[in-house]
């Protein structure tokens, strides 16, 4: 995870392949402060798709760590990730 609060990306070893993973911090709750987070991956910066189901780890009373892995194996091709944060009504 980034030390300054920004998302961090890395390649992790999976059961069969290496996978691109993004990890970030968020406040706890179903929609804390009305924010929704979405992690997406792309091979060309044009078409984006959701990753695997997030893995959430508690970091105390107010914060949690969220890790999301790409569904496409990392086969030395270019892969990109983004974390979108939107305000919910």
pTM (2 decimals)? 0.82
Per-residue pLDDT of the chain (89 residues; tens, 9 = 90+): 555 668 888 888 866 778 889 999 888 876 566 788 899 999 889 999 999 999 999 988 888 899 999 988 776 678 899 999 888 77
> How far apart, in Å, are the Cα atoms of 52 and each of 5, 33, 39, 41, 75?
22, 25, 9, 10, 17
Query: What are the structural domains, with CATH classification, of the chain?
Result: 8-87 (2.60.40.10)
Rg over alpha carbons for the chain, rounded to the nearest Å, is 14
Q: What span, in angstroms and rounded, lies between the C-alpha atoms of 85 and 75?
A: 28
């Amino acid at each position: 995870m980034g030390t300054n609060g920004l998302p961090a990306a890395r390649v992790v070893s999976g059961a069969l392949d290496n996978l691109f993973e993004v990890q970030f911090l968020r406040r706890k709750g179903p929609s804390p402060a009305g924010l929704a987070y979405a992690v997406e991956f792309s091979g060309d910066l044009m078409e984006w798709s959701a990753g695997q189901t997030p893995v959430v780890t508690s970091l105390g009373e107010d914060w949690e760590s969220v890790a999301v892995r790409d569904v496409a194996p990392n086969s030395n091709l270019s892969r990109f990730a983004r974390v979108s944060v939107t305000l919910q009504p």
